[in-house]
Amino acid sequence: MSDPELHRRDPADDPAACSLCGVHIGAFGDEYCEGCARDIGAKPPLRRCEQCGDRYPEPRMEAFDVSPDEEYYPEFVHVCQRCYDE
């Protein structure tokens, strides 16, 4: 088996590559790919809609508290805007 680190591209070789992982993101992309940006907190985490199953950034979701009143740690379900409007 080969080590994946040995075959990872150097971000400095490609100016249109992610600064962390080296994945090509295009000339007009950000400094980081989607995955790395979410890992370092530059973009909000993705949540899965409880209705349709699609994934969206957390700020674009509606959250509903479904925990009992006496629960110390509330439990939330997230629904996308499209399902919320229906």
Tens digit of each residue's pLDDT (9 = 90 or more) over 6-20:
555 555 566 778 878
Question: 10 Å Cβ neighbour count for 32?
Answer: 21
Q: How confident is the model at residue 79 (pLDDT cuts 50, 70, 90)?
A: very high
Q: Where are the domains of the chain?
A: 1-43, 44-86
* Residues in Cβ contact with 46 at an 8 Å cutoff, skipping those fewer than 6 apart: 38, 55, 56, 57, 58
* Residues in Cβ contact with 68 at an 8 Å cutoff, skipping those fewer than 6 apart: none
* Residues in Cβ contact with 41 at an 8 Å cutoff, skipping those fewer than 6 apart: none
32-78 pLDDT, tens digit per residue, is 888 888 888 888 888 899 999 898 888 888 988 888 888 888 888 88
Q: Whole-angstrom Cα distance, residue 77 to residue 44? A: 17
The whole-model pTM stands at 0.54
pLDDT over 80 at 2, yes or no? no
Q: 41 is written with which tokens?
A: 């907190």
